[in-house]
Structure 1
Amino acid sequence: MNRVAKTVVLGLLLSVLVVPGSLAQENPLFLLFPHLKSMPAPPWVKEGMRLTYYSSAASIPEGRHLYFKDENGSWVDDQGNRYRQEESVGAGGHGYTQIDVAALEGQRVALHIKSLGMTGIGAQQSALSLLGFDAYEGPSAAGSDWWISPQFLASVEERNEGGLRILRMPYPLGQTTYRAIRFQTEDPQGRHVRVYDLDSGVLLHAGSAVSGRISGSFTQELRPGTSGMLSQSTFVGARQVTLPWMQGTPPPWLATLQALRYEGTTTVYIPGSPAFPLPVALTAQTVAQGGRWLLLRAIDLLASVPGLPPSERHSSRISGIAQTGGFWLPPDGIGTLQPGQHLDTDPVTGIATSVSFRGAGQDGRPLVTLVESCSGYSLECTYDAESGLLAAFRHEDRKLNQVTEMRLVQTQ
């Protein structure tokens, strides 16, 4: 492929990247540069390594009002078509994204990605909420787009053509100025930027400013209604997390597990009002597996108004040996855990992880419960100490006064 063609294709690939980690897929650079797959991972990429980013996103409406075709609407155009007027409002949010190297096998890496949200800023900043999980599994030379092999970055030429600009530059962030390389693409839909540290390969900053059509909407001039979207993720820090079971032996059933199903309830507690638990279920199907990790497709089902189908939420989940909150832990690695044992406190989020219970369950089987907790939420995961399988979990959102509890009901 000639240099001009590569410039065009590289620009297209970079322009489709959204806030990093949003999909469990390989970095699209692998399509253009197949040799990148065989390059080594940066030496700092080890099981238990955690990257933390401050992330934010906001939608910006084009105007104050939008119009939708409606035969009962009060606004009429020159052709006699009727529209209803709706106020156009933006939305936004911010928080942290944390990426844990959950497993590393040869030249493959499995990443556990956790999103934490908060409201307010500065002194008015509120407690964190657990928004959800995502996953990546692929060649370790590029962990999705959270890092790219420094060896590869060193070979990339500067250029400024076809809507793509690549520039080496100093990049100040916090108390450090990095030797960095910046990728910027522009097209009619918007602008995308990625900045990487040339020495470590880690992503320092990602940002996008794009616009898109709002389905079914029009402006007062009867142009298609659009809204802008701004998003960014900025590197906060990296640290090695050490957990007691990381040197344990994965259970043999890991190689044959096909699916898990959990069932339970979710309840919102409102002072002075009765509690109404709603049935919920989680099905996790194995998509791929290695000796130290599982990649699963998770489907959360929440019951709604009687007579209507339940709502579904789909996500990708990684469960590896070097993480908390997964679907399994090595039995010999958790055998020595004791109630009250402190495991970790994250210096950025303040989330503390500890052992809250060790003993026999109602059926007599030995159980171990781990809890990660902060002022905004707690997540308790109870494991069967003999098999290492996640037997139950409880998530309490202290901002919404909502509690979700589920237990394992089926394995395949």
Structure 2
Amino acid sequence: MKLVGSLKDEKKMLLFVYILLFAMFGNLCILKGEVDKRAIILGVAMVILLGYSHFIIRKYFSDGDKHILLFIFLLSMIGIVMLYRIDPSVAIKQTVWFSVGMIAYVLIVVLLPDLKSFSKYKKLYLIGTLIFMSMAMVPGLGVEIYGAKNWVQIGPIGFQPSEIGKLFLTAYLASTLKDYDGNFKSLIKPALVVMYSLGFMVLQKDLGSVLIFFGISVTMLYLSTGKLKYIITTFLLSCVGAVFSYKLFSHVRVRVQIWKDPFEYANDQGFQVVQGLFAIASGGLFGAGLGKGYPQFVPVVTTDYIFAIICEELGLIMGFGILIIFFLMFYRCMRSAIYVNDKFSQLLAVGFSAMFASQVLVIVGGVMNAIPLTGITLPFVSYGGTSMLTSFFAMGIIQKISEEG
């Protein structure tokens, strides 16, 4: 009976996704007063991708949680629609990244063997963490964009190494903490690796990644040890580190000052925050309507501030809806960790789940000025090739874990 009920819920969810897809892309087609053929092609491509990937996962790997795929697709669809409304060329690029990510997601589930065997590659995960966390600081490789030196440019290829680094860090912590036997000394090495990662993110002025890595580390630490005193100690040390960072680095002080009173800096450093708040306020509860907002007034609108434009044109209701989808996705991912027996797989699922939860809270909190703004992407919604691929990789692993459980 439970299986039948779950299948019915999944079919209802799939039907809802298709209805929303046709509605949103149908709106895009007539947005400019004439039929937009590119929007039609984009919509058809999304239908094919959803149908094919869901068919493969459902038919050949029916044991796992299929709601995860639907949540991913729902968020990606909303992001591509908004990107197309802002800049069609960016939306087409995002669709390409989405397609590659979806293929990688399916291949991970289909081809990857039992994840238990991957726990032995601890040294590989450590090396990957050390390399990718520091890569942007290598002379000649690192590129500064919007004040943060967290990008690497190798010829025509540009990517954000910390996005890849957080996958290695999560895998390293999972492979290390799974062997925790109550001895405090076994936590020293992973603690040093986390401090190494956080230190390089502060030097790169990538404060968003600092908060994400901290959220991942604390969550995995508590799950593996179950000791509240370690969590309290970690928070106290983080407070000390935050104070030192505030005293030592001017960019940290600037972010805090803007957060305290963004309107005082509305004409320079706080311009982005203020414009985002104006966009959210002007949209109100139900929004101005798709295509009736003013995204050109908000800087970095396709990445950091896409949530503000969604609220402006589709309303706070859609904004809350996106947060609910993220919450449900987080719940289903954590649920996968509960049902799996292997400690490594369990920690990996929890770590990746915490990664997404931290990223959403940090960027939405920054856009709403609840916390100091840190420029990161909203998973699956904002434009970004590196972010899209790493997010799909992490979700593919969680899907595989749900199959095992």
TM-score tier, shorter chain, comes to under 0.3
Higher RCO (CA 8 Å, separation ≥ 6 residues) = 2
TM-score by length of 2: 0.21
Greater per-residue helix proportion: 2
TM-score by length of 1: 0.21
